[in-house]
Structure 1
Amino acid sequence: MGIDGRVREHDFLSSFPLSELHVSEELANLFAESAMPLLVVTEHDMYVRFFAQIRTGQRDALFIWCGSQDAHEATNWGKWLVSIFAAGLQAMEASRSFLNNHGCYYQKFWPDMEIEYKITITPDVDTYDLAVRLRNLVGRGQFSPFMWEYRDDFQQWDFDNHLYEIAEPPAEAGYISFIPDSLGTTVVKRKWFTTDAVVRKETKWLGVRLAGNYADHIEREFRVLADFVGAFRRTRFDVSLESISTGNVYAAMIDRCRFVGQNWPDLCQIELEYLHSRTLRSSAADTVFTELQWIKQALRSELDRLGVSYVEKPMSKLTYMKQMQGSTRTR
């Protein structure tokens, strides 16, 4: 099958409209009813690449790389074609647990680490408008080689967060926060750090049913001393994008935090975070920080174009709240 240039010449990720496939009218009618291509094969100088279908929409589909093979010159075109597609199907079968189960086609290279850059923006910015602008830039191809994360390019979040600081010992320093969810349970999030940084250790527990209050849970489950810092409501819009070259997925999270019971300025930030990778290849990990830097610079360029004031530094919510508490006490 020819693909009219819409399958990118990279090792990892490929997405294109099904209408771009050069197929017979009979096959086109079949696709429209109950069938679709499971495998795309692209030919290069002396080898072929196999792309397996993992997601479908009404008019398009997502294929990711699942293998390659040397392509010797064909003496019998029919036999060569059969052997190539047989090899492609074998490549799909070898990774079927990864490819054939919905949502299981991701891996996270550092599962217990958070990797994110923070850009603090002036609180008078319309965060929703900014998020939509960034989303549209990605959709128009202005962040190439990044595209919207397939069928999950924009998310909205609105939740409360109750934050407790752990100051000592240094090995346990950081914070624990509690986020009530819509089911009556709680998301418990813990981060370990002594200074704000791009990379921090992080663990989350979902659907936790608390036996007591937050302080009781910290003492019973974590056996550390923690001080309540404060609570805030976080409203966030996420623009998710993934690299066509590597399959790495990132999110630009534009958020506003309003602090409960305090007359502090809202904290508005763009958090650019590595989420996970839609790829079979571990070598994609080598490009994460380079890609993050590229996206960060593109975000800064857009903020400059819009005239938005910002400061780029890894300032956590904990640090901001403690700074505000300190300025309140000195007034």
Structure 2
Amino acid sequence: MAAKLTVDDELSSKIVSRHLVFADVALQYELGPADDAPVLVVELAPDEGLEMRAIEYLGRADTIVRAASVLDATGKVSALPSPEEPLVTWAGTRLDETFTDHLRAALTVPGQASGSASTDKWYEALGPFMLLRTHAGEQSPYTEVLICTRIRSIGALFVRVAQFAHSADASVAQLVNAAFDRRAHLEDFVRVEGSVHLREGNVHLRYEKDVEIEEKITVVGDASIWHLTKSMWAAVENGHFPGFITNPGYELTRWHFVQSNFEVTAPDNEVGHYAFQRVADDQYLLKMKQFSKDSLRRVETFRGGLQIPDADFDGYLAREFPNLTFRRLPDFRRTRFDINVQSVVTGHCFGIETDEVTLSDASGRKLRQVETEYLETRRHDGMDGTTIDAELSRLTGLVEEHLAGLRIAAKRDFYSKLSFLRDSAPTADR
């Protein structure tokens, strides 16, 4: 008899059941398949959040098996005995050893010794392949198909590539087979890492090219930005930022640079802030921002790899931008710690960027801010750029709540580094 979806009676019918599918990696990548490697289907704990998920992250503890089945090459599904105690199925880089022992015992061919080479060889071929999220309590049941896009020792990341409707009594085999029919959707954006650029585009899409979308929270008074960063990072990791996860394998980045600043004062349609950031090997990055007032959106472009002898920035600007008028502003040193997060519902990626700016002049005046910035969107089924502002605002609100919990006084605004530099300039220069 075909295995059916299982739902505990005490749980509401409006839950999302989840099945983690392990399969031969050759089904996703063009490799020679392992002989007789089955498809392993593991039922995980259900999700009581009814929202669809653009992405889902499974750490080691999230892969505990409730029930398991094996799907053979003919599409036949066979239920496996349930383990006597909760078992983790995936241990970062491989199937968990204790769970593998359970599989060996359950799948040993009569008359064949458990643990022989022939019974073990296909275990090595399996990896997290896809996650099925079945909304069985809906009037029109449907299943989301999320394909594994990243594996790290800390866990695996899945991205939604398709969804399909089905009957309420659909079996596990029917769901898995239907999902396999749709697994190749967005394949070229799922089976590569984010740093790889494809002919069709990157695995991430940045809406509104050359536009910075950013909110700011200015810290009032003294505060340790390192302490604040660690505290907020832990809060996201512990689920206190609902709907957001850290970017697996790229959770925290740290930066430091010296910046030389120029205000563009004319013409009116070009006003803004140009800044030279010194990088390694005596090269500079020129960051060009165009805006007439502090706001959520600002035009931002870059020039990298610049060689500027003797740091003659005035000469460079005069040569490269003869139609613009500049005003030199104080240099500053900037230290920034970024928590990189993703929205599981929308697939949008954001930075929670905590920085401290110190003027290089005699005043040593400081500015501390937490910036929440839209970075990009992971390509997935149902992408929607119209949700960026609302999700960014929600994230900023969570940051505000966290600061309040730490008793750190702060003000939410769009206060820019340019405004800080203007306010710090001598009265006669303003």
The bucket for the TM-score relative to the shorter chain is: 0.7 to 0.9
CA distance, structure 2, for counterparts of residue 75 and residue 295 of structure 1: 37
TM-superposition CA deviations, 1:68-95 (whole Å, max 9, x none): 12224779975x356414313332xxx2
Contact in 1 for aligned 2:254/2:337 (Cα 8 Å): yes
Match of 1:90 among 179, 184, 187: 184
Q: Does 1:219 align with 2:318?
A: yes
Counterpart residue number, 1:14: 56
Q: How far 1:256 moved relative to its partner?
A: 0.7
Q: Does 1:53 align with 2:148?
A: yes
Q: How far 1:31 moved relative to its partner?
A: 9.0
Contact in 2 for aligned 1:114/1:201 (Cα 8 Å): yes
Relative to structure 1, the CA distance from residue 56 to residue 168 in structure 2 (aligned partners, 3 Å threshold; closer, same or farther) is same
DSSP 3-state at the match of 2:414: coil
TM-superposition CA deviations, 1:192-241 (whole Å, max 9, x none): 01111111111123333346732232233333222211210001111222
CA distance, structure 1, for counterparts of residue 410 and residue 278 of structure 2: 30
Higher-RCO chain (CA-CA 8 Å, sequence separation at least 6): 1
Q: 1:128-139, aligned counterparts within 5 Å?
A: 128-139=226-237
Q: Does 1:125 align with 2:223?
A: yes
Of residues 229-238 and 294-303 in structure 1, the stretch that sits farther from structure 2 once superposed is 294-303
TM-score normalised by L of structure 2: 0.69
Q: Does 1:250 align with 2:326?
A: no
* Structure with higher helix content: 1
Match of 1:70 among 145, 165, 187: 165
CA distance, structure 1, for counterparts of residue 370 and residue 121 of structure 2: 45
Contact in 1 for aligned 2:146/2:161 (Cα 8 Å): yes
DSSP 3-state at the match of 1:37: strand
DSSP 3-state at the match of 1:134: helix
Q: Does 1:149 align with 2:247?
A: yes
Counterpart residue number, 2:363: 263
Counterpart residue number, 2:329: 229
Q: Does 1:168 align with 2:266?
A: yes
Q: How far 1:328 moved relative to its partner?
A: 7.8
The Cα RMSD (Å) is: 2.8
Q: 1:285-304, aligned counterparts within 5 Å?
A: 285-304=385-404
Where does structure 1 lack aligned partners over 5 or more consecutive residues?
A: none
- Name the amino acid aligned to 1:100: R
DSSP 3-state at the match of 1:237: strand
- Name the amino acid aligned to 1:222: F
Q: How far 1:6 moved relative to its partner?
A: 5.9
TM-score normalised by L of structure 1: 0.88
Counterpart residue number, 2:26: none
Q: Does 1:35 align with 2:35?
A: no
Point out the structure with max Rg over C-alpha: 2
